[in-house]
Amino acid sequence: MPRTLRSRLPRRRRALTGTLLASAVSVCLLAASAPPAALGLGDRLYPTLGNPGYDVTSYDLSLTYSGDNSKPLRAVTTIDARTTRDLDRINLDFTHGTVDSVQVDGLPADFVGAGEDLVVTPRIPLPEQSWVRVTVHHTSDPVSEKGRDGGWVRTADGLAMANQADAAHLVFPCNDHPSDKAMYTFHITAPEGYTAVANGLPAGVTRTGGSATWTYRTRHPMATELAQVSIGRSAVRRRTGPHGLPVRDVVPAADAKALEPWLARTPGQIAWMESKVGPYPFETYGLLMASATTGFELETQTLSLFEKELFTDPAWPQWYVESVMVHELSHQWFGDSVSPRSWSDLWLNEGHATWYEALYADETAHKSMDARMKAAYGASDGWRAAGGPPALPKPPKAGQKVGIFRANVYDGAALVLYALRQEIGKDAFERVERAWVHDHRDSTAATADFEHLASTVAGRDLSAFFQAWLYGEKTPPMPGHPDWKQAPPPAADKAGRTVKAATSARPAGAGAARG
């Protein structure tokens, strides 16, 4: 507990219990008379995610794994937060688990489920700008509900997490929106023979009675969607990256030797990214290679999640695998350190990660960036029709695994960055990129912030450029390439199935293999 929190809680409790004004009592009674209801921050794409009235400063997650990945984990989640208005109830995002008890500032609190919210009623109402600690004793179920992906991923030897975009609250109670970043501490207890890992740096392990408890702490704030806990029969491989950066990789123990050549590439990739945008933003990095079929890779903060098969299936060319590694690595700057303020800002994450994926393939494997962007340009109108313009993506459809992660926010958004570089020049574009990750490090940022920065660096108003490229139903003409045209819609075979045309330098069908 931070020293300020420890010192303020008793004083606030004494003041409130002794001197509540009659008017405050009447307001609280009126508010309490309304039935508990699910709330949300009103995000355009996920309106029920997140909750108003408080700002989380830290999470402390204690998870106990039995050794059977089909059984719920016992868990305790402790949330430290600061209220931003008077609260007589606290809404947390949480579902797919059983809540046993809740305490607010050490006192038992009433709780009830409402939609996918856990609604907590403390014994003492919470005034604006006060510190509060909420402790929830609960279970965390690793078996997915039918038609609902995300949260825990069951691997061949244990568990991992994949919370993007709206699934962290399937694992633990939280304020499940990227605009509310916080510090994390993890305590993971598992039977001997298992290795537990999580975001951040290790802070010790204790062994008692045939089990071990592993502790990890982050040194930088993190969005809930980026939390990672892996439990398995794993080997941990350590190496040193640029400037002494500790690099920690986690792989199935039986495959450690075979996977080592891939792992050895990471320090050089970090150095390459630093040459483009500046210093790596976190305390450590590494790859978590899971024996699981997910259909994607994921940029969980400091420890990116990959399917092991990406590295063992000979169908994937080496240059492509390396470019996917760089895609997830670049997310540590774009999406993790600088997080989206709303999910409509997703293009800033995925467009940049796709940009550096393509640039790496161009510079190291001679896979032409220009050719890839020309192909993307030809397909762009179709992507906009299917998924919306890059900064105005269509809402996810219920039960659709791809959600908002469509081509319009990957290569479609990278195409916007290519157009920006064409518009303002390579030198100005690179200054924008470095300033973006420097100015917004450990924070959140929105599309309007990027537009403002680019206009400032370019020395002219780029609002018309961004309006057309980010929000237009049709793709504008490409600066410097008046000959680039939209490609005709994909043909269909005799059975009526769409024939997928090759639209980039990536192997056919590779679009889903990135987070």
> How does pLDDT run across 52-86, given as a tens digit for each residue?
999 999 999 999 999 999 999 999 999 999 999 99
Query: Residue 260's closest CA among 230, 233, 292, 237?
Result: 237
Which DSSP symbol is given to 505? S
Residue 33 has a pLDDT of: 54
Q: In this structure, is the dihedral angle defined by the CA atoms of residues 361, 364, 365 and 369, taken in order, positive or negative?
A: positive
Give the model's pLDDT for residue 133.
Answer: 98
Question: Furthest-apart CA pair in the chain: how many Å?
Answer: 79
Q: Give the model confidence (pLDDT) of 429-438 as tens digits.
A: 999 999 999 9
Give the chain's count of helices (H) and strands (E).
12, 21
Between strands 211-217 and 195-198, the pairing is unpaired
Per DSSP, the three-state class of 424 is helix
Catalogue the long-range contacts made by 66-71 (C-beta closer than 8 Å, 24 or more residues apart): 66/191, 67/190, 67/191, 67/194, 69/142, 69/154, 69/155, 69/158, 69/159, 70/142, 70/143, 70/154, 71/142
Intervals of the chain under pLDDT 70: 1-33, 147, 399-401, 489-514
Cα–Cα distance, 257 to 47 (Å, whole number): 46
Position 426 scores a pLDDT of 98
pTM beyond 0.75: yes
Position 390 scores a pLDDT of 98
Which residues 6+ apart lie within 8 Å of 409 measured at CB? 346, 347, 349, 350, 351, 387, 390, 393
